[in-house]
Amino acid sequence: MNTVPVYRINYSDSSILYEFPAGKPDRSQEFKTGLESRNRVYLPKQKDGFTCIKYALDRMRIRIGKVYDKNDKDMCQAHHVEQTISEYYKDDRKIIEKTTCSLPIPDIILQNLSTSFSSCKSQSDKYDVIERCSNLLKSSSDKQNFINSFKRITNSFEKQNDYKDFYTYYASLELQAKQEQLERLIQVFKDLHAFKQIEPVITSPDITTQQKHKGFLILIPELFLDKFGLKSTSWTPNSSINTLYTELRLRKVLYISGFFGKPYYKDDPKLMNNKMGDREIYYWPKGSTKVLNGQAHAVLVVGVDTINNLVLYIDPKDPSDPKSKSTQRIYATSYSSVQENSVSVDGYLSNRLSKSQKEEKKWHYYSPFMEIVEPKVVSLESKTHAQNGHQ
């Protein structure tokens, strides 16, 4: 099987930083064994919905594509996994878009909509409420998605007679979506030959649709990580930053999930005064306005600065463009934030677990298929200096 190239653009006794070749391999070109060498094409940012796992893994996994040796059993199996997971995300998005909204909507916003709708005299008044509620979201694309979705849902609410309250009506749509998603998830586990691990949940008469749906979503990250060949590291939130440095030095880039990254801030990040290697670094200072979001988000840890206690990562919410590598930004956060806000692969938030419980769980994953390609830019000393107020 081939390997994924990664550049080491900064390396010293106290810091390290990696960088992927910008973009993604051109899937129309033939997949061959050895170091990935296909032309690079634009990699879009993650789509709305819970797609961060896929888009994070797309940067570090082996990508087969459309053209490969059909006589090679390993390639055929890898392509089957790739297609199964890709089709799942496409179908899941369609299910959500036709029923509810592809964005995670906090309950407080739904209650606000329902309460405000009760005093509206016209449909245009309701549209005004939707516009105002959209301002609680960060990006213009999220706002437009919210507005379009809830205008559609409001129209369907007006045409039905079973629900008088919008909040209850939306809850019914969510249940409908979860039922369809659950059926699709069951098929994914079957297609990936992992049905035995979910069979007890499926056959239990005491578990509701919502509970089954939640349980399946918790199982999805570990299933996909396993099927793409990723391995867990020894790091836990109890570990020192030097342990993280060692893991990065040995394992290269790391997959991690938690409450950090672009989805949790309304403000744009600030640019640090100094670069690391040849890359600019962004961060959110203390006091940045946060966004209501109860969903964990997957990012890739690409570096660490042990002197300044900083962890560097890239976010699938950014695209990656071969014509401009700076399109894929690098962000910094404090090591304490990573320790406190990390979420284990089975869905547990670090700061809600005891020290011993943290040791029992899996947190970071790496790809054994990554290969360092040098030289690109190598700096023996970190040029990054801490700024006051990193979150």
Per-residue pLDDT reduced to its tens digit, 11-48: 999 999 999 999 999 999 999 989 999 999 999 999 87
State residue 306's pLDDT score: 96
Claim to verify: residue 133 and residue 257 sit in the same structural domain: no
The answer, as to whether pTM is greater than 0.75, is yes
Q: Pick the last residue of a domain from 178, 196, 221.
A: 221
114 assigned to some structural domain? yes
66 assigned to some structural domain? no
- Residue 23, by phi and psi: left (phi above 0), alpha (psi -120 to 50) or beta? left
Provide the number of structural domains found in the chain. Answer: 2
Claim to verify: residue 210 and residue 257 sit in the same structural domain: no
Alpha-helical (H) ranges within the chain are 52-57, 73-99, 107-117, 123-134, 140-159, 166-191, 199-203, 209-227, 241-251, 335-341, 355-359
State residue 1's pLDDT score: 60
Claim to verify: residue 166 and residue 286 sit in the same structural domain: no
Claim to verify: residue 364 and residue 278 sit in the same structural domain: yes
CA 234 distance to own-chain centroid: 21
Claim to verify: residue 50 and residue 138 sit in the same structural domain: no
Claim to verify: residue 105 and residue 179 sit in the same structural domain: yes
Regions of the chain where pLDDT drops below 70: 1, 138-139, 292-293, 375-391
Query: For the chain, what percentages of helix, strand and coil (3-state, to nearest 5) are there?
Result: 40, 15, 40
User: What are residue 303's DSSP bridge partners?
Assistant: 17, 312
71 assigned to some structural domain? no
State residue 263's pLDDT score: 85
How far is 297 from 46, CA to CA, in rounded Å?
A: 11
How far is 88 from 180, CA to CA, in rounded Å?
A: 12
Q: Pick the last residue of a domain from 221, 247, 270.
A: 221
Claim to verify: residue 264 and residue 362 sit in the same structural domain: yes
89 assigned to some structural domain? no
Claim to verify: residue 368 and residue 341 sit in the same structural domain: yes
29 assigned to some structural domain? yes
Instruction: State the CB neighbour count (10 A cutoff) for residue 225.
Output: 21
Claim to verify: residue 201 and residue 163 sit in the same structural domain: yes
State residue 386's pLDDT score: 42
Claim to verify: residue 138 and residue 247 sit in the same structural domain: no
Q: Which residues contact 279 (CB under 8 A, 6 or more apart)?
A: 9, 17, 19, 326, 330
Claim to verify: residue 123 and residue 167 sit in the same structural domain: yes
Residue 377, SS3 per DSSP: coil
State residue 390's pLDDT score: 53
Claim to verify: residue 248 and residue 170 sit in the same structural domain: no
Q: Would you say the C-alpha torsion 282, 300, 295, 99 has a positive or negative sign?
A: positive
156 assigned to some structural domain? yes
Cis peptide before 375 (omega within 30 of 0): yes
378 assigned to some structural domain? no
Q: Pick the last residue of a domain from 186, 221, 256.
A: 221
Instruction: Return the half-sphere exposure (C-beta side, CA atoms, 13 A cut-off) of residue 138.
Output: 19
State residue 215's pLDDT score: 83
Give me the domain span that covers residue 155.
Answer: 98-221
Residue 154, SS3 per DSSP: helix
